[in-house]
Amino acid sequence: MNYNVSILIVMISYMTFIVGWGIYQGRKVKNSSDFAIAGRNLPGWIAALSERATGESSWALLGLPGAAYATGLLEVWTAIGCVLGVLIAWIVLAWRLRNEAEKYKTDSFTDYIAQKHGENGKWIRTIGSLTIVFFFFFYVGAQFLGGGKTLHNLFGINKTLGMFIIVLLVVPYTIYGGFRSVTYTDVIQAIVMIITLIIAPIAGIIYIKTQPEGSIFANSINEALAKAGTQYNTLLGGANLTPDSKLSIFLTSIFPNSINIAKGIGIGIIIASAFSWFFGYLGGQPQLSMRFMAISNAKNAKQARNIGVVWTIIAYIGALMIGWIGIAIFGPNKLADQEAIMPEVLTRLFNPFIAGILITGVLAAIISTANSLLILSATELSENIIKPIRTKSAKNVNVLLQSRLITATLSIIALILAYFISSELIYAIVGFVWAGIGSTFSVVIILTLFWRKYHGKAVVLTILSGLLFTIIWRLAGLEQIISARFLTFFVALTVAVCTTYIVKK
């Protein structure tokens, strides 16, 4: 049997099971609260695995290995930032958000912030929800794009058709079962993902060590990074500061007579940009914070914390190693698309049956995030935009049906957007969303939880400043100098603190 046909059979079997499991769980959804947040009654282990599967998505199985393949050891800073962010989120924020959600009986991320700052709740709901939905169109589009890339690399399917197939896999049970279906299918996705990220690096190390010398680029990760050059084998990434890069041109214009100072600052900026994923995990990603808020009780919150921390550490080590193993097998810059490195490595290492299961881990990551983002966006629109403006005569509308229809509509819009952004890297698209949503709302959540003076008007201005700064920074082409993920957090924080004192409550 043809290798790719064997993989396809395994993937179809797996996806049939996932869709069936999602529909089964959806039968237990009886109202809009079940659809939006599973009645705030998730067991700890379900919440932890769902949060991790949602948080890592195509980013961890396509984007991060691709970046490690393209830049070598520099991506260690990205992993450090992400892992630290996840640890702080689970240890410091998760149980607090769970308790707050129970206290305010909230069914959405923005609704919690609005209730906490009740004096400006209407504006917070409107602006916060629209900001989340705007950026999440790009995020969902990135997941559809990741699925299209995977199917294209494996089977030669047109990327647009591949994206459409992913939509058909994601949307039906998401529309039917909402948050509950999504979280329970996420558990299976998270297990497949972590198995992929454990087995693939181990098999890869064995493979490159046992290959005849000269048949592959290198016989160990260390040798591969050394042969690839200084830009791959240093944590400082100084070699990435090429003379013709925007960052280099910018710094040398400021320090024309001090090349060493310019280079030192440049290295610091590169590291800060890589590390800056850290800020988005500090409560600012609504799809992750909703998992914290949905945990049933404090005991389950502790269980979820332990599972989430261990899963994260293992996953990031595995994702980086797959990228570096790709350098050892293929050599640097040998793939037309760096984010194809994961499926390329898996098909090289394993027979069709095992490769099919592990590559399904890529689709698992894509699907778990796409459906989570769709549900959250639908909930934000339904609960915070449409519900408040319904006329009295429409008060008896079926809210559950409304949420399902909104989810379907958002899916179509995201698919159209994915078609137009199909030339971009998933890494770049997710980074844009991480700045606009993660770095902005992390400031809002942290100050809401820990600073009593922070008030509703300051919340609105914080959200608007993060939104506008991220968009302007990217449109101006300044992302190549320093990442908006880093700057947006501090811009939003500065605006939040200043407006808290300057603007009256």
DSSP secondary structure letters along 397-436: S-HHHHHHHHHHHHHHHHHHHHHHTTTS-HHHHHHHHIII
**395: how many CB neighbours lie within 10 A of its CB?**
9
d(CA 470, CA 268): 21
d(CA 462, CA 500): 10
d(CA 491, CA 221): 39
Residues comprising the chain, all counted? 505
**Residue 243 confidence (pLDDT):** 58
Within 92-158, residue ranges assigned H as helices are 94-104, 109-116, 121-155
Q: At what angle do helices 221-228 and 298-330 cross, to 10 degrees?
A: 60
Going by C-alpha positions, the residue among 371, 375, 306 that lies closest to residue 48 is 306
d(CA 403, CA 458): 30
SS3 content of the chain, % helix, strand, coil (to 5): 85, 0, 15
Q: Domains of the chain (ranges plus CATH)?
A: 3-231+293-423 (1.20.1730.10)
Q: Which positions ≥6 away from 244 have C-beta within 8 Å?
A: none
Using CB atoms within 10 A of its CB, is residue 322 exposed (0-12), middle (13-18) or buried (19+)? buried
3 state SS of 257: coil
**Residue 325 confidence (pLDDT):** 96
**Residue 461 confidence (pLDDT):** 96
Going by C-alpha positions, the residue among 154, 97, 61, 89 that lies closest to residue 430 is 61
Q: Is the four-CA dihedral 32, 183, 78, 148 of positive or negative sign?
A: negative
The tens-digit pLDDT sequence of the chain (505 residues) is 566 777 778 878 887 888 888 888 888 777 777 776 777 788 999 999 989 988 887 677 888 899 899 989 988 998 999 999 999 999 999 999 999 988 998 878 998 999 999 878 889 999 999 999 888 888 888 878 878 887 887 778 888 888 888 888 777 777 777 778 888 888 888 888 899 899 999 999 999 999 998 899 999 999 999 998 888 888 875 445 565 566 666 666 676 666 667 677 777 888 888 889 899 999 999 988 988 998 888 889 899 999 999 999 999 999 999 999 999 999 998 888 888 898 899 989 988 888 888 877 677 667 767 777 887 888 788 777 777 766 554 555 566 677 778 878 888 888 888 788 766 677 788 888 889 999 999 999 999 999 999 999 999 999 999 999 999 998 888 887 888 999 999 999 999 999 999 998 7
Q: What φ, ψ does residue 483 adopt, rounded to 5°?
A: -70, 140
d(CA 299, CA 269): 41
Across-strand partners of 295?
Answer: 42
**Residue 394 confidence (pLDDT):** 52
